[in-house]
Structure 1
Amino acid sequence: MKNGARSTEPPQEELATGERSTRNRVVRSVLDHGPSTVSELAQRLGLTQAAVRRHLDVLAADGIVEARERRVYGARTRGRPAKVFALTDCGRDAFDQSYDELAVDALQWIGEREGGDDAIAAFARARIAAQAGSYRETVEAAAPEERAHALARALTADGYAATARSAPHPQQGEQLCQHHCPVAHAAERFPQICEAETEFFAELLGTHVQRLATIAHGDGVCTTFIPKSSRVAGASPPPKPPEPSKPPRTSGTKPEKPSPRIHNAITSASTAGRNPA
């Protein structure tokens, strides 16, 4: 291209945006019509089959769609069944879901039918207990000073995007920050979910912890303060300092009389320089 000449090609970011838009159309078509062949997608979207295949390859690599053999109902014809592309669970999760609403409705039903707030708290603790195994294994395998970071890694694996860092005053402890909460909508309605999680953190780390902020209450991050332990977990407690020696008791007892020699010396000292009576 000569200097000063204007390029007629669209910028790379526009190409990328157009590619994403077309892939979204492919995914939406599969969602609306069910598992589809390349030919069916090309016809619906007005694309060439080569272009559809290219987009499907990217979507399959991202785990959004997967290839399957089309089910055949009735007598099977000769030849290989047509390959169709269907959405994976990950692909479906990209669209609006009603899981939060379902969870809130279920918890409300439990509260109304099974014992109010106490029943919801029991459910929240049972839910945490069901997940406790993998968390406990990860945390207990770490050195005591690294357990907050180990817990953050375990939470991140479950979608909480967690980190651990020193508190504003490092000598006081650490802060566990969860930047995402998959159950925030339900926790906003039922704080027992957050309370059960906080109790679990304390039990897992072997120390009292304090929840400073939660996404469910409108904060940007769920923040839990973990105080620095004064001694390593499992170590024997320091020996108690020796008790100070106590003076002998004198109340209720008669003072001992000094020996005659000492008595005479005391008497002589007390009468020295005095005229005898």
Structure 2
Amino acid sequence: MPAVVQEGTTYDLRGLTGDIDGAFLAGDGVARVRRALDAGELPVLPDADALRVGAPVARPAAVVCVGMNYAAHAAESGAAPPTRPVVFFKPSNTIAGPYDAAPIPPASEKYDWEVELGIVIGRESSYLSSVEEGAAAIAGYVLANDLSEREYQIPGDAGQWTKGKSLPASTPLGPWLVPADGIDAGNLRLQSWVNGEIRQDSKTSDLIFDCATVVHHISQYMVLEPGDVILTGTPEGVALSGRFPYIQPGDVVELEIAGLGRQRQEYFRKELP
């Protein structure tokens, strides 16, 4: 069910919308929620703390990703920093809630975490004429984990980004969607931990291509629709670097972006039927 959190209280949005989706965002949904909050028209959601937290955006038409968008991560991946955005897709059926139990694929040996800032699109965008138009197309931001199976993604003739990035529940989102005007997306701290040990600790100010530039660039090649999600890339500190082991059954991965909340996933080995 859709909800909004204000000053620690969770309010029920079902009187305004059936879900937080593209139609809601394109239909001035954020402004309508703000007006309802100011007018005291939204009921408190009972027992909110006992409910599962799902992804804060209902299944988007597209999950578009930008690779190697931090110079240090490109270096630890063995690549030079890109001179233009590297773009790929994840299926939208990979989206999971921020606290859901996380399956490691049955044959996986190199499952990797990636804390990322996610952009949520608020209006249809195609062939945008400027970076400023790119910024105006952003409805808000989310915390994301772009889980990646590196053995599928990279080596040999069979290595393909799509294979390594399309696994079930490999895109936990949330817990919150924060409106674009409520946060400085260009200066946010991103962190990840595995079993309580810090792995990544960077800032979005280190992005090679900032959020508005990313939206403008991608709009030259595809139509972005309201509710679509763009993952902007991960900073250094992943297992691919060779400095840390890959995710194992029983591991707990936590991720946080300042102002966007914190995720926690416990990992288990998915068994074949």
Query: Do they fold alike, i.e. is TM over 0.5?
Result: no
Bigger Rg, which one: 1
* Structure-2-length-normalised TM-score: 0.24
Q: Larger % of helix: which?
A: 1
